[in-house]
Structure 1
Amino acid sequence: MPPPTPVESSLSERELVLVRETDVPPEKLYAGWTTPELYPQWFCPKPWYVKDVEMDLRAGGYSKMTMCGPNGESFPNEGVYLEIVPNKKIVFTDAYKANWEPNPNLFFTGIVTFEVLPSGKTRYTARAVHWTKEACEKHAAMGFKDGWSAAFDQLVELMSN
């Protein structure tokens, strides 16, 4: 029996990217991403919010939160961290739950980086890499660009104080 034919899909059709620059230093942006008590203040575009945030910040560590909408919507999110580089990079995925239990409803892997530019500003890059083109299109239709932009603005406002 011949080996299965690989599924070809360019990363560009499975990836959504937000790149922004700010005067907020990487250490503060990273702190916003890694402090459970701060998440509800910025992570979702208002009037959405998160609750019950749990973080075990290490490669293989568990993450959990519930996204809540203004009309009583509730979306639990579980995943694991794949890579943590303090003040530089956070990689997480919903492909697994705690203890590397596979998630049958996997959606994407997130890669967030914080880079100091020669100007002294911080370049913030958030990438959402999806398992399929269809999942990427769904995330785009859900409002990735506007939602993640609003969350970034809320993070900057919070961490500027």
Structure 2
Amino acid sequence: MSKTIFKSEENKLTVTRIFDANLTLVWSAWTVPELLDQWWAPKPWKSETSYMNFVENGHRIYAMVGPKGERHIARTDYKTINPQETFSGEDSFCESDGTINTSMPIAKFKAEFVANSNSTVVILNSEYQSKEHLEQTLAMGMKEGLSMAFENLDEYIKQQFKLRSELKLNNNPRVTTYLNFPGNTEEAFNFYKSVFKTEFSGKGMQRFGDIPAEQGHPPVAEEIKKMILHVELPTLGGHVLMATDAPKEMGFTLNRGNNMHICLEPESREETQRLFDALSNDGNITMPLEDMFFGAYFGECSDKYGINWMFNFKNI
């Protein structure tokens, strides 16, 4: 069943989308140009952003490129932005220099983002100059483009935690270190492997391209197929390094300081809650501790000293 619901009335369209990921990732999917270009067009068309400044009174200019090289230039003007809550503006077609084409449909829109316990709801309200302009926009593939939104991120999250679950078959407590790289996990972990002289756990390096195709999910983008989805490497004394590539194409922004977590895997749900409450006290909760769709009681925070912690209790 589709997670996207369309409702139209005269010249207005409401699109509601339930996304199986946290609010931060979903917000990035709408506001990071590299990620927008992954889904902002019905296949076989694609989106190419030439300029984007996501600030109030800023704008985005992009091309909808067809399989035969057809190019339709479009523009989004951002009016109001409340980070991780709402943004509004106007969508229009334009000339290559950004001049709005007033003979084509123009939509005033507002996008709302609502965090649920283990998902995020996006509500997009659009209003056109007329019912005919709305119908024209729908005929150009708007539903198809929006329906494909976020599927790569959904699949990425689900498959990554599936792999982690397969590599840990019990709830014996352990502490690991979880690393994020912008696209060079393979290089880094081959280096660590040479230093510690150990072997990768399980099937070794699992790549984004290894994600099995499922009905309703588009194929993984070519530029990230060879990147690492998940890898584990034993080091010393039973300690394990884990990592994934977190590329900008998937909506991630990595900086030194947010690319490393101490990952706690307690033996019980109660101990997971206790540790989370204690470490997040006077700190910053970046992901509330909740039952997640990938089968774990999971959360993230940074403590009052700025150290990043990840909590993962597997629901067996």
TM-score by length of 2: 0.41
Query: Take 2:57 and 2:87, find their aligned partners in 1: how far apart are those partners?
Result: 12
**1: distance between equivalents of 2:11 and 2:132?**
8
Q: Distance in 1 between matches of 2:65 and 2:153?
A: 18
User: Compared with structure 1, are the counterparts of its residues 120 and 29 closer, same or farther at alpha carbon in structure 2 (3 Å cutoff)?
Assistant: same
Question: Is 1:27 the counterpart of 2:17 in the alignment?
Answer: no
Higher relative contact order at CA 8 Å, sep ≥6: structure 1 or structure 2? Answer: 1
Which amino acid counterpart does residue 130 of structure 1 have in structure 2?
Y
Partner of 1:148: 146
Distance 1:50 1:95, change over 3 A: closer
Alignment of 1:56-135 (within 5 A): 56-94=53-91, 104-105=102-103, 106-117=105-116, 119-135=117-133
Question: What secondary structure sits across from 1:139 in the alignment?
Answer: helix
SS in 1 for 2:149: helix
C-alpha displacement of 1:22: 2.1
* Alignment size in residue pairs: 148
Tell me which amino acid in the other structure corresponds to 1:111: K
- Work out the CA distance in 2 between the residues paired with 1:51 and 1:74: 10
State the structure with more CA Rg: 2
C-alpha displacement at 1:21, in angstroms? 1.2
Q: Partners in 2 of 1:110 and 1:85 — Cα distance?
A: 14
Q: Is the 8 A contact 1:29 1:159 kept in 2?
A: no
CA shift digits 1:35-72 (9 cap, x unpaired): 12222222212221111332122221122111111121
Q: Structure 1: which 5+ residue stretches go unaligned?
A: 1-10
Q: For 1:131 and 1:159, how far apart are their aligned partners in 2? A: 39
Task: Determine the C-alpha separation between the residues in 2 that align with 1:95 and 1:46.
Answer: 20
Aligned residue number for residue 262 of structure 2: none
Partners of 2:101 and 2:133 in 1: how far apart? 15
Shift in alpha-carbon separation, 1:159–1:89, aligned structure 2, 3 A: farther
The one-letter code of the counterpart of 1:145 is: K
1:94-131 deviation digits (Å, cap 9, x = unpaired): 3698xxx76524521232221013x3321111222211
Change over 3 Å in CA distance of 1:109–1:152 after alignment to 2: farther
Provide closer, same or farther for how the CA distance between residues 112 and 40 of structure 1 changes in structure 2, counting only shifts above 3 A. same
Unaligned runs of 5+ in 2: 1-7, 161-316
Question: Aligned to 1:94, what secondary structure does the other structure show?
Answer: strand
Runs of 4+ in 1 over 2 A off after TM superposition: 94-97, 101-106, 140-147, 151-161
Alignment RMSD, CA only?
Answer: 2.8
> Secondary structure of the residue that 2:125 maps to in structure 1?
strand
Please say if 1:52 is aligned against 2:49: yes
Q: Percent identity?
A: 29
Contact 1:17-1:127 at 8 Å conserved across structures: yes
Q: Is the 8 A contact 2:26 2:120 kept in 1?
A: no
CA contact (8 A) 2:23 2:115 kept: yes
Maintained 8 Å contact 2:40/2:149: yes
Partner of residue 36, structure 1: 33
| Counterpart-to-counterpart distance in 1, 2:20 and 2:69 | 35
